[in-house]
Amino acid sequence: MAEEGFPESVRLGFDVGANLRLMPRFNEKDPDTFFTLFERVADARNWPDADRTVMLQCVLTGRAQEAYSALHASECMNYAKVKSAVLRDLLCHFNRWCSAASVESFDGLCDLIVLEQFKNLIPPRIAVYVSEQKAATALRAAELADDFVLTHKSGFGLNALDNTHHLH
């Protein structure tokens, strides 16, 4: 028996489980790619808006899931409104991030993105050190990372930064 509150197309045999396997994984860091892939699947399967929103709510995570759950029940059946709410919330989060980092220009944004990518590539201990030193640019972060590595070298031939080797 169908559950109340689901759109008619879902109640009449839309197989959420089977279609879920076709869904791309949601990634908050790249919502544009997700929505492009999602819409390709939905278009190929001829899903109406109501089915699209049911499928979306199955894969959204984090802030996007919160944005979806904040919508009124009637808005949750409108794919365009759901997509807009998710993207608007992520944009709001992005703007707060830029504001907290004092980004005031496109070049400042580029520096911030490159800096964050750099910190994601280096070992966690070094990334923490770079963050503690409040590096404002990737160039400054690289200098700090080099200094950290040079001052924390082990005299026994073991890299003191590698937590996988322990002396017993």
Supply the DSSP string of 64-79, one letter for each residue: HHHHHHTS-TTGGG-H
Q: What is the reported pTM?
A: 0.60
Q: Where are the domains of the chain?
A: 1-100, 103-168
> In 3-state terms, what secondary structure has residue 158?
coil
pLDDT in tens, 70-115: 999 989 889 999 999 999 988 888 899 899 988 999 999 999 999 9
| Mean pLDDT, contiguous 10-residue spans, the chain (168 residues) | 48 73 87 92 91 90 91 91 91 89 91 92 93 91 93 61 45
User: How far apart are the C-alpha atoms of 119 and 62, rounded to whole Å?
Assistant: 22
Q: Is the dihedral of CA 102, 136, 63, 45 positive or negative?
A: positive
